[in-house]
């Protein structure tokens, strides 16, 4: 098995012709958390939801089968999985013979759990079933039309503030302007982000400028969302907080981290570009 000291990302790698669980590359969560001073008593619950749009295998007669998988990884796992390594692993299933999608999902669950060292759930959908789920997009207050002057493109939590004289409210802010960058390849990653909270009103202009300030930031999706959650919590002190980013897919995969002060399931969401 590869490790986070030997990234597959950014390297020329052949596509596998045979099943190989050893392609999966773990990356320690604690490395990213230490950078933002989060210890083992991290102040949130959550999951990372991966959508794999290109799952294929062979039935027992050799006929190709196809499905879309939703892979949910607990934020309590020791590791995250490197995205390119997951793509290569999923492609290694292409010539595997299996009686049903249940067998493929069980195998994926076992292999990915071994990689991340923690709880993983895998749900398989036919193409038709996936597209009729009727998932909504983000709703609430769209920040993107605010008239702002932006001059900071590195994460700047000082832009965040809450209006303590405004009383306690519950509202949802969202934006389609989050852009971060892969820390290995520096390729851009585009996302929509939702901030749902109960607390003193968060200044909307500052929140939008803060989201935009991530434009040059390099980090994995999961670590970006944990940084955003932690900085909003530290600066605005909400009673309850949820942060949910839906990243655009790349290479047939999208990664969608969700962090919450409460132990609840993330809302079912699909962004139009996914």
> What is the set of active-site residues?
182, 189
Q: Cβ(219)–Cβ(183) under 8 Å?
A: yes
The token pair that represents 168 in the structure block? 């306690």
- 170 φ, ψ to 5°? -120, 125
Instruction: Give the torsion through C-alpha atoms of 95, 98, 102, 107, to 10 deg.
Output: -60
What is the number of other CB atoms lying within 10 angstroms of the CB of residue 116? 22
- C-alpha to C-alpha distance for 106 and 122, rounded to whole angstroms: 8
Secondary structure (DSSP) of 92-140: TTTT-B-SSHHHHHHHHHHHHHHHHTS-EEEEEE-HHHHHTS------S
Distances (CA, A) of 88 to 12, 44, 79, 85, 135: 12, 31, 18, 5, 28
- C-alpha to C-alpha distance for 80 and 187, rounded to whole angstroms: 19
């Amino acid at each position: 098995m590869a490790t986070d000291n030997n990234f597959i990302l950014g390297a020329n790698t052949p596509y596998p012709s045979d099943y190989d669980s050893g392609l999966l590359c773990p990356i320690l969560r604690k490395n990213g958390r230490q950078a933002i001073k989060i210890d083992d008593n991290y102040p949130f619950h959550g999951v990372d939801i991966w959508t794999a749009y290109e799952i294929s295998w062979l039935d027992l007669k050799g006929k190709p089968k196809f499905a879309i998988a939703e892979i949910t990884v607990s934020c309590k796992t020791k590791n995250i999985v490197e995205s390119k390594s997951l793509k290569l692993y999923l492609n290694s299933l292409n010539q595997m013979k299996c009686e049903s999608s249940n067998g493929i999902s069980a195998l994926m669950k076992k292999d990915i759990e071994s990689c991340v060292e923690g709880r993983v759930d895998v749900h398989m959908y036919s193409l038709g079933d996936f597209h009729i789920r009727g998932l909504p997009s983000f709703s609430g207050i769209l920040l993107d039309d605010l008239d702002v002057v932006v001059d900071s493109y590195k994460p700047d939590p000082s832009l965040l503030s809450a209006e303590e004289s405004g009383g306690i409210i519950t509202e949802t802010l969202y934006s389609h302007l989050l852009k971060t960058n892969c820390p290995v390849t520096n390729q851009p990653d585009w996302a929509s982000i939702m901030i749902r909270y109960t607390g003193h009103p968060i200044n909307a202009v500052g929140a939008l400028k803060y989201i935009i300030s991530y434009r040059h930031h390099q980090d994995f999706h999961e670590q970006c969302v944990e940084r955003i959650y932690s900085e909003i919590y530290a600066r605005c002190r909400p009673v309850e907080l949820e942060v949910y980013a839906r990243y655009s897919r790349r290479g047939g995969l999208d990664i969608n981290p969700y962090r919450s002060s409460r132990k609840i399931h993330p809302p079912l969401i699909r962004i139009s570009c996914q």
